Structure 1
Amino acid sequence: MLEEVFRDQWARVVAALVSFLGDVDLAEEAAQEAFVIAAERWARDGPPANPGAWLVVTGRNRAIDRLRRDRTRTEKTRLLDHPIPAEITMDGTTTIPDERLELFFMCCHPALATEAQVALTLRALGGLSTPEIARAFLVNDETMKRRLSRARNKIRVAAIPFAIPHDHLLPGRLRAVLAVLYLIFNQGYGDGRADLAAEAIRLGRTLLDLMPDEPEAVALLALMLLHDSRRAARVRDGEIVLLHEQDRRLWDTAQIEEGRALLDRAIRFGAPGVYAVQAAIAALQTEERIDWPAVAALYGRLRELTGSAIVELNRAVAIAEVEGPRAALAIVDALHLDDYRYFHSTRAELLRRLHDTAAARAAYRRALDLTTTEAERRFLNRRLTDL
């Protein structure tokens, strides 16, 4: 029960508390305390009728208690002696159309580096743990802890205000907001968290209503819909199913059609950016016969836009379909992604196709050491058994 409420309510509770407290760090701590209290009381007394409202009020009260104990923050304490503002009602709702999306824009303050904006927002609103965020950025846990700490310290030292930015400031923060949405979607899609993926898509739709002429906002929604359309076919009998082995009858054709229409709309707005190129790749992968040379060319364009080694790894997968596994392996072996599980699983697959069984086994084992989901673990174990 509590785990389900955490998934459904974490972002809403933090957003409501930030609206009241004006401090993301304090709001996150208060939300954590509220969930700890809930674990104890709900187990004893049963859950309340409205868990979200209970968590908001409990978190607010814990924050006020903490501030009153802290003599160095008496100024803020006096402010908190006033009644709950109108934006936070006792039923856990707000008068803001989507307080979570607005908090995304608050966290993405230009005084912070883009990576800090994204990491901070993922922690506060995505409900992701520090290790999960570290995996998304391909860094170790300690590195991510330091980044988050530096971001929070800068917020305190520079007295960065957490207020909803004026409309004319929104485009300047859009890049980081889109990055946050996509990382949340990827975390949900890759780890089987349907709730996170669905939340990212929902927020993507809300963002599009807010900024309907932003091509990358349109393209990101297209990309998420095209990927999510294959969700039902990605896992069979608890095991990951590769694209070419998926049962296409399970794909969501309505999502595919909507994603393609949005992609066309994004391209009409102007030169394709990173999300439009990725959406174009995803659209090609929904075709009956995939045009792999076109996919490889698009990955080449995406590499030019991003300089990403992960993009180059994906390009190698397409090259394997065009030029064969040996050409692809040459690309993969030039990359430095030893802590990335898909680097090793991709390399293992190429080595398997080249009949280098011993090297393939070693690569599969390394991928197995790094994987975080049971579905991927089962797939890798079956590959090892087959070898």
Structure 2
Amino acid sequence: MMHLDFDTPIDRCGTQSYKWDGTLAEFGRKDVIPMWVADMDFPCAPEILDAFSDRVRHGIMGYTIRSQQYMDAVRGWFRNRHSWDVSEEALTFAPPGVIFAVNVLIDLLSEPGDRIVMQTPNYDALMNSVSAGGRIISENPLKVVNNRYELDFDGLEQILALPRTKILLMSNPNNPTGRLWTPEELSRLGDLCAQHHVTIISDDIHADIVMPGYHYTPLPSLSPELAQRSVLLTSTNKTFNLGGLQMATLVIYDEVLRSRFNQVMARYQTRLDNLFGAIALETAYTSCGYWLDAVISYINENRKALEAFIRTELPQLTAYPMESTYFSWIDFSGLGKGEGLERFLIDTCGVAFTPGREFSAGYGQFMRVNLACRRELLLTAFRQIRQNI
């Protein structure tokens, strides 16, 4: 198997990198260690880069079509990676990306003033889609049981029963906590939504990145009834570090909803893939599973290294179990910095994380830490915190 090097530094500054070149605008400093936005510092799989090179040498960058090989690659990935035989007819696509597709679905499934249920903390872009569209977020906060986040089903049932509740918008795994929902949890959640005629939109963009010992279950795979009442969204963007290509795959078994979605995409002229996104998807799903395995292994070692460092050097912090994604969800309240925590980390320690407040009120002392980086850089960031407390 090809050796993959994730330890050699690659200078991303000056490449218009949102993660690295955007720190001045985002945090007020350009010299912080950036461990915030969901973007890996690892080079793409060599097969993807070779496929790009072949197309560049061809010289023509025209419009694309989705070939049968493309569809087979998507279905093959679901089948081989997640033991799910997805119907080709259920597949549709949103080249602008998952968040664009979520906004379209919200418009199709609800009206301004309707309620959309979200388990919190949750991805801020999803929450912004709800509020910016004039819908009401009905928060059902996750519970912490034995240092692990769990769904509050009693609270969920009460919220689903509220008037004008149309959608449950979730992420599987949960972003930012990394909780990967079990088949039992998903089935119970699905039953409650069915009882109250609520459609589930599940953002599964991080679902391919699963830590050893855990297993991802696609919600629509649990039953034909649940498949009809849910929409699953995923992408190569996070899995293969292709965020700049803006791709999204949707699984919509409801034929009427899928047709309405495709009509909107056609109206906006967003039905055609980015040329390089299409090349990357087919190549990634057919040839690059080994690369993802290596990335997961490296991230898992980063996780273990960080947790060991926190135990011995920064016991004031609490890192929650990381089941999936490449984020560690960490409670920094033990540092006693209060409302000054963010500026302390940025101005004094020189590190930039995604602040917990972005994922819901009440998480101002939490940080989402991106572990998809060199191990030495990760540990350097936390050494700088230790040295300045």
Please, what TM-score do these two structures have when normalized by structure 1?
Answer: 0.25
| Greater gyration radius | 1
Q: Which has the higher strand share?
A: 2
Structure with greater helix percent = 1
